[in-house]
C-alpha cells in the first residue's frame, strides 16, 4: 500500500478516468483556436484504412527535432533555459556524420519584464515581421521560441538538401502561433520548388472525435481491419483549414509496433503519398524505436539535454557570474531548491 493512500481514492480515480475514455462527450464545447485541438468529422471504416508496403530506402532522408531544458529556475520570476534545434542526415539508409552539423545551443533568460522584448526579437528574426501577440507566461514563451527555432531549422535544412529527398520533422504543419502562417507557407513553397517530400510527425495529438481522443480509436480500428501490414488513414478535419498546411494522416509504420502517429504531409507535384509512406516505413524498423522513423529518433538524441550537460552549463554560468563580480551568496539564494536535497537523500 502506498503511504497515505486510501484504496477508495484509486477506485474513484479509475471510475472517473474510465468514464472519460469510454463515454462519448459533447462536441459542442468551445476550443481555443491556438491550442491545436481539432475535431475529426468522421471515420470511414470501409474505405479509410489503406495498406501499403515499406520501401528499401535510398537517397536523402533528414530528420529535424528540437530540445529544451530548464537550466536555472528563479521561482517563476525569471529563468534560464537551453534550446537547440538540429538535424540528422541519412544517405542511402546510413547516418552521415559529415552532413550532420552540430546544433547551436541558445541560452535564453526570461522574466516577465523582458518576455515581450526577447520573444519579439526571436519572432522577427525567424518570421521576418513582428508578432501578432505575446506569450502569457515564461513557460509559454520558451515553448514558442523552441517551435520557431525548429521551423527555422526545417527551412534551413530544406535549403541545404538535394532535390527529391525526404524531410521529416517532429511536430505538425499547423499554425499554432498567431502569424506563423507566413513561415509555414514559405516552408511549403520551398519544399515543393525543390521537389522535397515534407512531413511533420506528431508523437501526441489532441485530435478529438465525439469528445474522445481520436488517434487511439483509429489505431484500434486499424489493427482490427488491416492487421499485419503498415496502413494509412486520411483524416477529415472539421474547420480551421486556414491553420492547416498539408494533408493530415494517421500512419502505422510497422505492424508489430504499439504506436501510430499523426503525420502531416506536403508533396511535390506528381508524387503520391504512398511513395513517402513507404520510405517512412522503411526507416521504422529499428528495434529501439519500432514504428517511428529512425532519422527523427537520431535527431532527438542529438538535441536532447542530459542531466550532466545541464549541470555543466550551471557550473559554467556560476563560474562566469563569480568572475563578473556577482555576489555569489545572492546567486545561490536565487536558485536554491530544497527539493534537490530531499530527492538526493532518497
Parallel, antiparallel or unpaired: strands 247-252 and 231-234: antiparallel
Q: What is the DSSP letter of 69?
A: E
**Under 8 Å between Cβ of 155 and 187:** yes
Domains defined for the chain, CATH in brackets? 49-303 (3.30.420), 307-344 (no CATH)
Collapsed DSSP state (helix, strand, coil) of residue 42: coil
Place of cell 509555414: 184
For residue 104, give the nearest of 302, 274, 300, 336 by alpha carbon: 302
Contact yes or no for 201/261 (Cβ under 8 A): yes
- DSSP conformation letters of 11-27: HHHHHHHHHHHHS---S
Q: Which three cell numbers stand for residue 298?
A: 537520431
Q: Model confidence over 161-206: pLDDT tens digits?
A: 989 999 999 999 999 899 999 999 999 999 999 999 999 999 888 7
- In this structure, which long-range contacts are made by residues 322-328, counting pairs with CB atoms below 8 Å and at least 24 apart in sequence? none
DSSP letter for 123, please: H
Lowest mean pLDDT among 33-47, 91-105, 155-169, 282-296: 33-47
Q: Name the band, by pLDDT with cuts 50, 70 and 90, for residue 35.
A: very low
Question: Average pLDDT, whole number, for the chain?
Answer: 87
Nearest to 107 by CA among 149, 140, 65, 152: 149
For 196, counting Cβ atoms within 10 Å of its Cβ (0-12 exposed, 13-18 middle, 19+ buried), the class is buried
The dihedral built from the CA positions of residue 7, 8, 9 and 12, taken in this order, carries a sign that is: positive
Residue located via cell numbers 472525435: 209
The structure's pTM equals 0.88
Asked if residue 18 has pLDDT above 90, the reply is no
Amino acid at each position: 500500500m502506498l503511504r497515505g493512500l486510501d484504496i477508495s481514492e484509486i477506485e474513484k480515480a479509475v471510475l472517473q478516468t474510465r468514464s472519460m475514455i469510454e463515454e462519448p462527450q459533447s462536441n459542442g464545447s468551445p476550443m481555443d483556436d491556438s491550442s491545436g485541438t481539432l475535431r475529426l468529422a468522421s471515420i470511414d471504416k470501409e474505405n479509410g484504412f489503406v495498406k501499403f508496403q515499406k520501401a528499401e530506402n535510398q537517397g536523402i532522408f533528414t530528420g529535424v527535432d528540437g530540445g529544451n531544458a530548464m537550466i536555472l529556475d528563479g521561482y517563476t520570476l525569471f529563468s534560464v533555459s537551453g534550446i537547440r534545434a538540429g538535424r540528422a542526415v541519412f544517405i542511402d539508409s546510413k547516418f552521415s556524420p559529415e552532413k550532420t552539423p552540430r546544433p547551436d545551443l541558445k541560452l535564453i533568460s526570461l522574466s516577465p519584464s523582458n518576455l515581450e522584448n526577447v520573444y519579439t526579437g526571436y519572432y522577427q528574426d525567424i518570421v521576418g515581421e513582428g508578432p501578432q501577440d505575446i506569450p502569457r507566461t515564461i513557460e509559454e514563451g520558451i515553448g514558442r521560441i523552441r517551435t520557431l527555432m525548429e521551423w527555422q531549422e526545417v527551412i534551413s535544412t530544406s535549403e541545404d538538401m538535394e532535390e527529391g529527398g525526404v524531410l521529416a520533422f517532429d511536430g505538425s504543419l499547423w499554425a499554432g502561433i498567431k502569424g506563423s502562417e507566413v513561415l509555414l507557407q514559405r516552408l511549403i513553397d520551398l519544399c515543393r520548388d525543390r521537389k522535397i517530400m515534407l512531413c511533420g510527425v506528431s508523437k501526441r495529438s489532441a485530435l478529438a472525435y465525439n469528445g474522445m481522443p481520436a488517434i487511439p480509436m483509429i489505431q484500434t480500428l486499424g489493427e482490427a481491419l488491416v492487421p499485419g501490414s503498415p496502413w494509412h488513414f486520411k483524416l477529415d478535419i472539421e474547420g480551421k483549414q486556414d491553420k492547416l498546411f498539408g494533408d493530415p494522416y494517421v500512419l502505422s509504420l510497422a505492424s508489430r509496433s504499439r504506436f501510430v502517429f499523426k503525420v502531416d504531409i506536403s508533396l511535390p507535384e506528381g508524387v503520391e503519398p504512398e511513395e513517402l509512406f513507404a520510405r517512412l516505413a522503411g526507416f521504422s524498423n529499428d528495434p529501439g524505436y519500432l514504428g517511428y522513423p529512425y532519422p527523427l529518433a537520431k535527431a532527438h538524441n542529438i538535441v536532447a539535454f542530459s542531466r550532466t550537460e545541464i549541470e555543466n552549463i550551471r557550473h559554467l554560468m556560476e563560474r562566469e557570474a563569480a568572475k563578473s563580480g556577482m555576489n555569489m551568496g545572492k546567486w545561490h539564494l536565487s536558485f536554491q531548491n530544497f527539493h534537490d536535497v530531499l530527492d538526493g537523500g532518497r
